[in-house]
Structure 1
Amino acid sequence: MNVDSGSYGAVYERYSLDEDNDEPCGIGIIFENGEYDGFSRSDLEALKVTHTGRVDQRLKDYHFENVIKLSEDYRNGMFDSVLKSK
């Protein structure tokens, strides 16, 4: 992943790897340069990721389908309200 320290990102999904437990164990983040990845809670702590508190209603209900659609949504400006409004 090619993301500079201090880059903004938007959470596009919360996921659980345990089918019997709906409690999210990780999140998917897409960054201002279009790169994306998934992070566990320990990853977030180790990387010192901070939450800005900004919530966009369109993203609140965003449904992640696959990375092709995620990249298309990024190119179409779906995440601009968060990623380009520093």
Structure 2
Amino acid sequence: MVTGLFAAVSFDEGETWPHIRLVSDDGSGREIETMDKRPFTMDLNTAEPGGYLTACQSEDGIIHLISSQQHYAFNLEWLTTLPPAKAKI
């Protein structure tokens, strides 16, 4: 099962969302902190479980997603690329 924070992109004003990806570092697992200070393990199938979010895209094309405790940075290519084979969405 895949759980946690997802990112998605639409190219048709929100009619369809062809690319949906778990916001994770695609690694084998590392512990990070959630907004309530509890740890969880981020890995191929588990992302941050929740938080207050904001996002923007910088001039260099990097998408910056800020949660209550974490800063994620990725580009459109990452978002539109399939995740590693072990992740089952």
Does TM, scored on the shorter chain, surpass 0.5? Answer: no
Q: Which has the higher helix share?
A: 1
In the superposition, the TM-score normalised over structure 2's length comes to: 0.29
In the superposition, the TM-score normalised over structure 1's length comes to: 0.30
Q: Which has the higher strand share?
A: 2
